Amino acid sequence: MFFKKKQKHYEPFDLERPLLSFAKNDAWTIRDACEGTQIFGATGSGKTSGSGQAIAKSFLNGGFGGLILTAKKDERETWEKYCREAGCLDALFIISPKSGYKFNFLDYELNRAGDGAGHTENLVSLFFTILEIAEQKSGGSSDPYWERATKQLLRNTIDLLSIAQGRISMMDMYKVITTAPLDYEDVQDTEWAKHSFCYQLIKQAKQKNLSHSKKMDLDFTIRFWLNEFPNLSDRTRSIIVSSFTSMADCFLRGVLRDMFCTETNIFPEFTHEGGIILIDLPIKEYGQLGLFAQVLFKYIWQQAAERREVHKNPRPVFLWVDESQNFITSYDQQFQTTARSSRACTVYLTQNLPNYITALAGGGEARAKVDAFLGNLQTKIFHANGDHKTNTWASDLIAKTWQYRSNVSSGSSNDGKTFFPETTGKQSGISHSEALNYQVLPHKFTQLRKGGYKNNLLVDGIIFQGGRIWNTTGKNYLYTSFKQG
Ligand SMILES: Nc1ncnc2c1ncn2[C@@H]1O[C@H](COP(=O)(O)OP(=O)(O)OP(=O)(O)O)[C@@H](O)[C@H]1O
Ligand SMILES: [Mg+2]
């Protein structure tokens, strides 16, 4: 790893400012970081301690703010060490059950600054992102019908609550959905009406003095709850209802309720001022609870990053997601398309390509989503890997070139002693051929050093960056090494 000496004066957040150098004449700048990074490598190949560590430290030394999601238990300690070394331990906010940091996400979404605050569609997208990840993990499909039906359920729940009561809580959403009519008999049953929270809200909303447009919203909402919802097939209804209730259940008790549904003393916007937020609810320890909380916070953080005015505050912010296959959602791709202008530097680390495809429930559509997402992470670093799909994908990405080959042929007699039977009878000489070959063969990725003492703490990587020809090699890829420590 070469750290280039500063030769030129740069403003702290100048996009051309080098963060680190992958080779003597090949700096990696803030601009490059803003275009996103994907690190691939098998377990133990040196993703975290090699390229990950070098990039993480460059962000901290550069004064970036950031959000760190955690899958493994030791990630908190690793980042505490990085921050201590970079002299920014004071800026590290650790969200954990013991730290006392709380974030009431619904309160935040309803009351935050910005024109979109409290809009039904924004809340629908927020809940849908959590439901999407829950569905992925339970092996369900993200089929478009499920998506439409789930969004419709969320939209009508939120609208009913906001029109009738002017406030929304997780508990009330849960109550609306679980007391909605299941068939037409319910709708006509006065006993059901008396005990249904859903019906009581409809009654309350009807008595309100509403604007014309709110009245239209209410008419649609009532039609949904009293006609469409009971008319859904039992199977569809039970799938969408149980996706919601099992997710809501997590937020209605224990750690998630305390941390995400009570008060707020930490904001995603802290990172815009240089704060580094680490959510210490690693999936390995907290399972689904850790996943829901982190995907929720990530989504809200991404939106806050998109909203900020970078011309007033040009400080880059980073999103760090190790074991990223756990956290990927369809919103990531959307976010990544504008991340550069928000100066949001995403770094995703995962073992291999199939991890992402499986996370997005497999199939052709998942593959297309993964390709689109990876296409928007411009810097790709490949460490040692035995996964054939990833290695071939990497070789394809780096592409093939016409390679010129000379063959020396020998033997011209028919004496039967020639070593090359196919040349028998031909004139000896040199022939030239051109073939389209991989610049980096897939098996090369199996031979990279993985760090550790036997490799002098060196981790090899092959770097590709969309549209870049590296000065050192004159090619579109670069071999480099990272020092662990
Ligand atoms: N500071 C260090 N000194 C010596 N060896 C190290 C150091 N840091 C990591 N290693 C070793 O280097 C190898 C690569 O470790 P690392 O954790 O970076 O891999 P990884 O690609 O992140 O793996 P995973 O997918 O499991 O997270 C491992 O064998 C690890 O034990
Ligand atoms: Mg790792």
Close Cβ partners of 190 (under 8 Å, ≥ 6 residues apart): none
Q: How confident is the model at residue 360 (pLDDT cuts 50, 70, 90)?
A: confident
Q: Apex CA 439: angle with CA 436 and CA 444, to 5°?
A: 125
- Residue 410 confidence (pLDDT): 59
Q: Which of 141-145, 354-358, 360-364, 480-484 shows the lowest mean pLDDT across its residues?
A: 141-145
Looking up tokens 């990833």 gives: 390
Asked whether residue 112 carries a pLDDT value surpassing 50, the answer given is yes
The CB of 290 under 6 Å from ligand 1? The reply is no
Specify the ligand 1 atom closest to the Cα of 45. 21
pLDDT number for residue 257? 96
pLDDT score of 140 = 61
Identity of the amino acid at 20? L
Give yes or no for residue 425 having a pLDDT over 50.
no
* Average predicted confidence (pLDDT) for the chain: 90
Strands (E), 379-454: 379-382, 400-409, 429-438
Predicted model pTM: 0.89
Whether the pLDDT of residue 423 is over 50: the answer is no
Cβ(41) to ligand 1 under 6 A? Answer: yes
pLDDT (0 to 100) of residue 433? 75
Instruction: For 278-325, write each residue's pLDDT tens digit.
Output: 999 999 999 999 999 999 999 999 999 999 999 999 999 999 999 999
Does the C-beta of 47 come closer than 6 Å to ligand 1? Answer: yes
479 compared with 422, residue with greater pLDDT? 479
Task: Look at 9-13, 281-285, 452-456 and tell me which has the smallest mean pLDDT.
Answer: 9-13
pLDDT band at 417, cuts 50/70/90?
Answer: very low
Q: Which bound ligand lies closest to the C-alpha atom of 460?
A: 1
pLDDT band at 3 (very low <50, low <70, confident <90, very high): low
Pocket test for ligand 1, best of 49, 73, 350, 460 (most atoms within 8 A of CB): 49
Q: For 48-94, how does the pLDDT look when each residue is reduced to its tens digit (9 = 90+)?
A: 999 999 999 999 999 999 999 999 999 999 999 999 999 999 999 99
Task: Choose among 464, 461, 459: nearest CA to 36.
Answer: 464
Query: How remote is the C-alpha of 293 from its chain's centroid?
Result: 14
Residues of the chain with CATH 3.40.50.300: 18-100+273-398+442-483
Rounded mean pLDDT, 367-379: 92
Superfamily of domain 18-100+273-398+442-483: P-loop containing nucleotide triphosphate hydrolases (3.40.50.300)
Count CA atoms within 13 Å of residue 137 on its CB side: 22
- Arithmetic mean of pLDDT, 110-118: 77
The residue written with tokens 């011209």 in the block is 412
The mean pLDDT value for 36-47 works out to 98
Q: Is the pLDDT of residue 217 over 90?
A: yes
Q: Which residue has a Cα nearest atom 11 of ligand 1?
A: 452
Give residue 76's pLDDT: 98
Cα distance between residue 136 and residue 329, in whole Å? 9
